[in-house]
Amino acid sequence: MRYDNLSVRTIQVKTGSADYPVFVGRELLPTLRRRISAIAGKTGAGKTGQRLFVLTSPAIWSLWADAFLESFPHDDPPTTLFLDPGEEHKRLRTVERLAEQMAEARADRSSLLVAFGGGIVGDVGGFLAAIFMRGIDYIQVPTTLLAQVDSSVGGKTGVNLQAGKNLVGSFHHPLAVFADIDLLQTLPARELRAGLFESVKAGIIRDPKLFAFMERRAEAILSCEPKAIEYVVAASVKMKAEVVGIDEMESGLRMILNYGHTLGHAIEAATRYKQLLHGEAVAWGMVAATRLGLRRGTVSQAEADRIEKLIHAYGPLPALRLPANRLLDAATRDKKNRAGVRRFILPSGIGDAVVAKDVTDDEMSSAAESMLRTARLAAEPAPALVEA
Ligand SMILES: NC(=O)c1ccc[n+]([C@@H]2O[C@H](COP(=O)([O-])OP(=O)(O)OC[C@H]3O[C@@H](n4cnc5c(N)ncnc54)[C@H](O)[C@@H]3O)[C@@H](O)[C@H]2O)c1
Ligand SMILES: [Zn+2]
């Protein structure tokens, strides 16, 4: 077969409740059917008679349907379900509509759902699979860098409420994840960069080798050179798989994945999710957390400089013009602040992180102000995000 020469990296995710592979490589999409059947031995996936559903968005389907369908019998393609882009569609009513469509198409408990899209499709698809007939199997085929390195791994699924993002959901791990880096060819550059900030995060909190690689190979990574991007995706997935394997339910170590996210989420909320992509907001959050780490002595000046330089290498980051108190208000409402205790993840040197539970309002406020002074001077604010 023409695809068999390409190497595929496999990372195994092992938690108390799940054990599944994440495949990272090229040309996974046009060979999907065979690959699903190959994991059938263990799971029964891909067996004859099993109904297959694919959840995707119209834009992704128009770019990639041919490659997706290549390995499926032409007279028996999977049933396609669509989700329009944008957080406003990541809602319970969408899940209900999709469940009705599946029932109409005679889905049963042995049906298999493939979530083929970015993090929104993955989160909605995973949640639909978690609750349809009390749970069916699903597979993730992530199409954004963010989904490949972060959201497709770890089993968190869910939808938004008016009151906040991801407030309804469940843990439901996929049977497998196929991260085909060829899919990134059509990803807008800004989406690619935003996703790469999660890989920068992975390097800072747990993988000094990935950090150094991202310092050295920024140009190759940003131009999606296959070998370089494949290494970054695989290393980021490995980092997340290890952390989730140790702490599936986020009672300890998994919290370090929230580095940059306390203020990152606050930035997103304070700008009503309209100015910055998630990864960009996290990048500014990482800058603030690093400066707090510097004040507390968890990183040296030289390490803090290296961290900030790496973050900016994957920019440009859009400017932020916000008063610090708006950010602090939003951070106080963050659901990650359990019972009023503010947990803040600080880098500890390069390649490690600590959870600080005693960050005072003053410390947080001066870290936010210091970051905002830099962020005000950044490139012009990005135009408001308009969903395609
Ligand atoms: N479950 C988790 O653990 C977890 C972790 C992080 C983020 N998330 C969630 O992920 C979501 C964000 O995901 P995202 O950043 O992937 O955004 P997204 O799903 O909105 O995708 C971004 C945009 O890129 C387009 N797109 C996707 N793939 C493409 C491709 N290959 N070519 C061209 N265009 C493409 C999409 O249509 C969309 O317009 C958020 O809802 C967030 O809450 C979940
Ligand atoms: Zn994130």
The amino acid at 332? T
The whole-model pTM stands at 0.94
State residue 73's pLDDT score: 92
| pLDDT surpassing 60 at residue 3 | no
Q: Average pLDDT for residues 38-47, to the nearest whole number?
A: 63
Grade residue 50 by pLDDT with cuts at 50, 70 and 90: confident
pLDDT digits (tens, 9 = 90+) for 322-372: 998 999 888 887 655 555 567 899 999 999 999 998 898 889 999 999 999
pLDDT digits (tens, 9 = 90+) for 170-225: 999 999 999 999 999 999 999 999 999 999 999 999 999 999 999 999 999 999 99
Counting residues of the chain whose pLDDT is more than 70, the rounded percentage is: 92
The amino acid at 109? R
CA diameter of the chain = 65
Cis peptide bond upstream of 78, omega within 30:
no
| pLDDT surpassing 90 at residue 377 | no
State residue 12's pLDDT score: 97
State residue 286's pLDDT score: 98
State residue 388's pLDDT score: 45
Structure tokens at 146: 């963010």
Catalytic annotation present for 240: yes
pLDDT digits (tens, 9 = 90+) for 51-106: 999 999 999 999 999 999 999 999 999 999 999 999 999 999 999 999 999 999 99
Distance between Cα 70 and ligand 2 center (Å): 33
Q: Cα–Cα distance between 311 and 339 in angstroms, integer?
A: 32
Q: Which residue has the higher pLDDT, 269 or 49?
A: 269
Pocket of ligand 1 (CB under 6 A): 57, 59-60, 63, 85, 87, 90, 117-121, 123, 143-144, 146-147, 150-151, 154, 156, 165-166, 183, 186-187, 191, 278, 388
Grade residue 23 by pLDDT with cuts at 50, 70 and 90: very high
Cβ pair 177, 153 in contact under 8 A: yes
Cβ pair 160, 30 in contact under 8 A: no
What sign results for the dihedral spanned by CA atoms 178, 184, 188, 190? positive
Query: What Cα–Cα distance (Å) separates residue 322 from each residue in 253, 260, 292?
Result: 32, 17, 19
Q: Cα–Cα distance between 337 and 342 in angstroms, integer?
A: 5
Q: Cα–Cα distance between 39 and 46 in angstroms, integer?
A: 8
pLDDT digits (tens, 9 = 90+) for 282-294: 999 999 999 999 9
- Residues paired with 43 in a beta bridge: none
CB atoms within 10 A of CB 176: 23
Grade residue 379 by pLDDT with cuts at 50, 70 and 90: confident
Torsion angles phi and psi, residue 179, rounded to 5: -95, 95
Grade residue 378 by pLDDT with cuts at 50, 70 and 90: confident
**Residue of the CA atom closest to atom 7 of ligand 1:** 151
Distance between Cα 223 and ligand 2 center (Å): 22
The closest ligand to the CA of 86 turns out to be 1
Torsion angles phi and psi, residue 115, rounded to 5: -90, 110
Nearest to 336 by CA among 279, 272, 254: 254
Q: What's the gap between Cα 338 and its chain centre?
A: 23
Q: Ligand 1, residue 87: give the atom nearest the CA.
A: 41
Distance between Cα 237 and ligand 2 center (Å): 13
State residue 315's pLDDT score: 93
| pLDDT surpassing 80 at residue 386 | no
Structure tokens at 22: 């994440």
State residue 248's pLDDT score: 81
- Classify each residue of 39-54 as buried b or exposed e, where b means 16 or more C-beta atoms within 10 Å of its C-beta: beeeeebbeeeebbbb
Question: Which parts of the chain fold into alpha helices (H)?
Answer: 32-38, 40-43, 58-69, 92-104, 119-131, 145-146, 189-206, 208-216, 218-222, 226-246, 261-270, 278-296, 301-313, 324-332, 361-376
Grade residue 125 by pLDDT with cuts at 50, 70 and 90: very high
> Which residue is catalytic, options 278, 291, 306, 342?
278
pLDDT digits (tens, 9 = 90+) for 231-262: 999 999 999 999 999 988 888 889 999 999 99
Catalytic annotation present for 42: no
State residue 383's pLDDT score: 65
The closest ligand to the CA of 192 turns out to be 1
Mean of all residue pLDDT scores within the chain? 92
Cβ pair 212, 194 in contact under 8 A: no
Distance between Cα 120 and ligand 1 center (Å): 5
Catalytic annotation present for 201: no
| pLDDT surpassing 70 at residue 4 | no
- Residues paired with 54 in a beta bridge: 80, 114
Counting residues of the chain whose pLDDT is more than 90, the rounded percentage is: 80
